[in-house]
Amino acid sequence: MNEGTKSRILIVDDDPSMRDSCRQVLVKEPAYSVAVAEDGQSGLKAMEARPADLVFLDLKMPGMNGLDVLDALRRDYPDTVVNVITGYATVESAVDAMKRGAFDFLPKPFTPSELRIVTERALGHLNLQREAKRFQQEKEQLREDVISIVTHQLREPVIVMMQYLQTLRQGYVGELSPLAQEYLLKAEKRAEELLKLSEHWLSFARMDRTKIEAKRMPVPLAPLLAKVTEQIEPLARRKDVALRVSASTSLPKVLADVESLEVVLSNLLSNAVKYNVEGGQVWVTAKVAEGGMEVAVEDSGVGIPEESVPYVFEPFFRVRDPKRQKVHGTGLGLSIARMLVEAQGGTISVKSQLGKGTTFVVRIPLAGGAIDAPGAVSNP
Cα 294 to Cα 69, 220, 246, distances in angstroms: 45, 13, 12
Neighbours of 359 (CB within 10 A): 17
Burial 41-75 (b: 16+ CB within 10 A, else e): ebbbebbeeeebbbbbbbbbbeebebbebbebbee
For residue 288, what is the enclosing H or E element? strand 281-289
Tell me if 64 sits within 8 A of 38, measured CB to CB: no
- Given this model, what pLDDT does residue 3 score? 64
- Given this model, what pLDDT does residue 90 score? 61
Span 196-207, pLDDT tens digits? 767 766 666 666
Cα 267 to Cα 77, 191, 242, 260, 263, distances in angstroms: 43, 21, 17, 11, 6
- Given this model, what pLDDT does residue 33 score? 93
Would the pLDDT of 372 be above 50?
no
Whole-number percent of the chain with pLDDT over 70? 85
Q: Which of 369, 352, 342, 362 is nearest to 247 (CA)?
A: 362
Residues 6+ apart with CB under 8 A from 57: 12, 13, 43, 66, 69, 70, 73, 82, 83, 84, 85, 102
Rounded to the nearest integer, the mean pLDDT of the chain is 84
In the three-class reduction of DSSP (H, G, I as helix; E, B as strand; rest coil), residue 292 is classed as strand
- Given this model, what pLDDT does residue 105 score? 87
Tell me if 245 sits within 8 A of 229, measured CB to CB: yes
* 217-219 vs 54-58, strand pairing mode: unpaired
In the three-class reduction of DSSP (H, G, I as helix; E, B as strand; rest coil), residue 364 is classed as strand
Q: Which of 313, 301, 315, 314 is nearest to 352 (CA)?
A: 301
Would the pLDDT of 215 be above 50?
yes
Would the pLDDT of 373 be above 70?
no
**pTM of the entire structure?**
0.51
